[in-house]
Amino acid sequence: MGRMVGSHIRMAPLNGWVKTDNRHLDEKIKIRRYFLDKYPLKTYRVIDCCAGEQAIWGILRRHYPIQYTGLDKNRVDSGVVKIAAERWLRDVEWSADVLDIDPYGEPWPIYFAALENYMGEDLTVFLTNCNAPIKTVRLMSKSVRAKLGIPEKWKIWHSKKISDMATQACLSHVVDCGFEVVEAKKIVLPDRAEWCYMYMGMRLRWLKK
């Protein structure tokens, strides 16, 4: 784990990883503002699947009318339910205008649960995806392996190339779930040598069958 320096800066060991909740907060806010402004509502019903410290929506709440529900598998706070978001999205009947998925690694299991259980018409989804160095990340999740057609028994570690492939395959799940992509934007941030963060925003319309 990194060493605390001062009150808010952390030093990471060279080959290690420190989980930082809000790396590149400005970019995260920027892409969210773009979609909130482009598709205005009297009140935005937001489900924040990885609420963390609520840094993002704490800021946005000052500028937009927000009805907020937070989920976080590790935290409980006012307005935040302590639960794995993918479980909540599958078990609870929900509807929303905005869904925010900002985990540390891959957003896909939560994204699949959201698309497969959505009740509504128009939805804006924000995703954070991080391709990270091979030594520091877990095995690829079961749901992503299933999407790529990789047998469960095979041990596949994330690498940049595989993550890129997985990103394409996983994003396309919107179409399988009957959505039309009205608009999509991304911000890609090359970080340290092997790291790559991608922030995405998508405006979706559900074409009911």
Ligand X SMILES: C[S@@+](CC[C@H](N)C(=O)[O-])C[C@H]1O[C@@H](n2cnc3c(N)ncnc32)[C@H](O)[C@@H]1O
Site residues, ligand X (CB under 6 A) = 21-22, 49-56, 71-75, 84-86, 102-104, 110
**Residue with Cβ nearer ligand X (15 or 74):** 74
Own/partner pairs, 48-51, CB within 8 angstroms, 24+ separation: 48/100, 48/102, 49/85, 49/89, 49/99, 49/100, 49/101, 49/102, 49/103, 49/110, 49/114, 50/85, 50/100, 50/101, 50/102, 50/103, 50/110, 51/75, 51/77, 51/79, 51/80
**Residue with Cβ nearer ligand X (22 or 172):** 22
* Shortest reach from residue 58's CB to ligand X, in Å: 7
d(CA 78, CA 72): 12
Of 58, 163, 51, 55, nearest in space to 110 by CA: 51
**Residue with Cβ nearer ligand X (53 or 122):** 53
Query: How does DSSP classify residue 97?
Result: S
**Residue with Cβ nearer ligand X (9 or 18):** 18
Name the closest residue to ligand X (Cβ).
52
- The amino acid at residue 208 is K
**Residue with Cβ nearer ligand X (73 or 173):** 73
